């Protein structure tokens, strides 16, 4: 039986970061603020997760902020308590996130010494003009260098992208992903840009200088980005910001494609595109078979795919869970005809033109 992955998260908020990215309000985005956890707090939290999950081994992740921009002694203070737990087999991996330009020699020596397994880079875009407009303070070349130094150190590297930053476009986001995939990232996170209250982006939005992606455009673009990553066999471990009370509240997101089920909207979009293709020319009622894990994506969020296809004259009469259908496949039957398609190989999006579902 496959073991369940248990991740013990630690949120490192804005501390240590001298930058002011236009979209960033670390406290609201991570949902936590305050001081760094002390050694005993780290150990206690890991012990609590192990006990409640009934697992002997857990993974540790430091999210948010820019871990490697903390003073070295603070980085040590966070990583050192994990080492005996790693030796005892209680912690299997350590991951953290940081900026692409924050991996100098002293930091790299520390990450190697404390056996960090994976570093997620806040790439955001591979277009220098977009990075400058977002106040990131690093370039695409910094990302290329970061992948290279991490690779040389034997540390896996992942990347985070933010489609929809000022000056970005759907084609620009696709091109950024294309350039990022060339570095063989271990994983990806895709966070369409949203406008959080109190940020520089919010001021620009209020002045009419910045217009975020609509939810529909972000979902359509997200589907193309996810499809591209699937074809490259790079896992997309998150799409869209995690819903928190702060983000959902009146002082959280004020504009932009924020949706608590953003990933499902994107997966549903891929299913819609495939169903449309498979049902071309269909008349009468259509039966869809999907792997149980894919059924809700096939139906669409709140039945959206059924409704959209219905407006095009395609009546999805029955949706049947079927374990013999692979998770990336869908099968349709109508009028004695059966067709099967695969989300990866049977969807073909143009390389550059924006797609609107």
> 136 or 289: whose CB is closer to ligand SF4?
136
Applying the rule CB under 6 A, the residues between 16 and 75 that interact with ligand SF4 are 17, 19-21, 24, 26, 65-66
In sequence order, the β-bridge partners of residue 331 are 289, 340
Q: How far apart are CA 163 and CA 185, in angstroms?
A: 17
- In the complex with ligand SF4, which residue's Cβ is closer, 21 or 119? 21
Q: How far is the CB of 126 from ligand SF4 (least distance, A)?
A: 17
Please pick, from the candidates 28, 50, 95, 99, the single residue that binds ligand SF4 as defined by CB under 6 A. 99
> Which residues in the 310-349 window bind ligand SF4 by CB under 6 A?
none
| Identity of the residue, 69 or 319, whose beta carbon is nearer to ligand SF4 in the bound complex | 69
Which residue bears the tokens 């603070």?
A: 74
| Helix and strand element counts for the chain (H, E) | 14, 13
Kindly state the smallest distance separating residue 326's Cβ from ligand SF4, in Å: 38
Q: How far is the CB of 58 from ligand SF4 (least distance, A)?
A: 26
* Nearest Cα residue to 350 out of 174, 209, 216: 174
Task: State which H helix or E strand residue 290 sits in.
Answer: strand 285-290
Structure tokens at 275: 């169903």
CA–CA dist 261, 239 (Å, integer): 9
Strands 118-124 and 91-98: parallel
CA distance 47 to 70: 25
| 173-212 positions binding ligand SF4, by CB under 6 A | none
Closest distance between ligand SF4 and the C-beta of residue 11, in Å? 12
Task: Give the span between the Cα atoms of 91 and 85, in whole angstroms.
Answer: 5
Stretch that binds ligand SF4, among 15-23, 148-156, 216-224, 268-276 (CB under 6 A): 15-23
Environment class of residue 194 by beta-carbon count within 10 Å: exposed (0-12), middle (13-18) or buried (19+)?
buried
Q: How far is the CB of 212 from ligand SF4 (least distance, A)?
A: 17
254 versus 286: smaller Cβ distance to ligand SF4: 254
- Which residue, 138 or 259, is less far from ligand SF4 as judged by CB? 138
Q: In whole angstroms, what separates CA 340 from the centre of its chain?
A: 29
Beta-bridged to residue 253, according to DSSP, are: 196
**Minimum distance of ligand SF4 from residue 67's CB (angstroms):** 10
Question: Which x/- pattern over 102-141 shows residues binding ligand SF4 (rule: CB under 6 A)?
Answer: --------------------x-------------------
Which of 63/205 has CB closer to ligand SF4? 63
Binding site for ligand SF4 (CB under 6 A): 14, 17, 19-21, 24, 26, 65-66, 99, 122
């Amino acid at each position: 039986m496959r073991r369940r992955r248990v991740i013990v998260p630690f949120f490192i908020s804005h501390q240590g970061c001298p930058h002011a990215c236009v979209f960033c309000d670390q406290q609201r985005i991570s949902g936590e603020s305050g001081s760094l956890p002390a050694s005993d707090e780290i150990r206690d939290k890991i012990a609590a997760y192990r006990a409640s999950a009934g697992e002997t081994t857990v993974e540790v992740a430091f999210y948010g902020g820019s871990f490697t921009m903390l003073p070295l002694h603070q980085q040590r203070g966070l990583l050192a308590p994990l080492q005996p737990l790693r030796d005892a087999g209680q912690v299997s991996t350590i991951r953290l996130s940081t900026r692409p330009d924050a991996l100098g020699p002293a930091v790299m020596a520390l990450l190697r010494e404390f056996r960090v397994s994976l570093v997620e880079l806040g790439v955001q875009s591979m277009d220098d003009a977009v990075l400058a407009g977002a106040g990131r303070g690093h370039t695409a070349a910094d990302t290329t260098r970061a992948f290279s130094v991490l690779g040389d150190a034997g540390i896996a590297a992942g990347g985070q992208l933010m489609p929809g930053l000022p000056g970005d476009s759907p084609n620009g986001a696709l091109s950024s992903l294309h350039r990022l995939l060339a570095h063989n990232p271990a994983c990806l996170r895709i966070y369409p840009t949203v406008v959080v209250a109190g940020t520089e982006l919010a001021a620009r939005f209020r002045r009419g200088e910045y217009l975020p992606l609509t939810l529909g455009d972000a979902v359509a673009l997200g589907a193309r980005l996810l499809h591209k990553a699937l074809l490259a066999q790079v896992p997309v471990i998150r799409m869209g910001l995690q819903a928190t009370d702060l983000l959902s509240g009146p002082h959280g997101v004020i504009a932009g494609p924020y949706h608590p089920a953003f990933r499902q909207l994107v997966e549903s979009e891929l299913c819609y595109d495939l169903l449309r293709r498979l049902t071309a020319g269909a008349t009468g009622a259509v039966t869809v078979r999907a792997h149980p894990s894919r059924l809700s994506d096939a139906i669409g969020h709140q039945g959206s795919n059924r409704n959209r296809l219905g407006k095009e004259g395609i009546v999805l009469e029955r949706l049947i869970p079927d374990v013999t259908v692979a998770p990336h496949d869908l099968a349709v039957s109508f009028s004695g005809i059966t067709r099967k398609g695969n989300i990866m190989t049977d969807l073909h999006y143009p390389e550059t033109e924006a797609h609107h579902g």
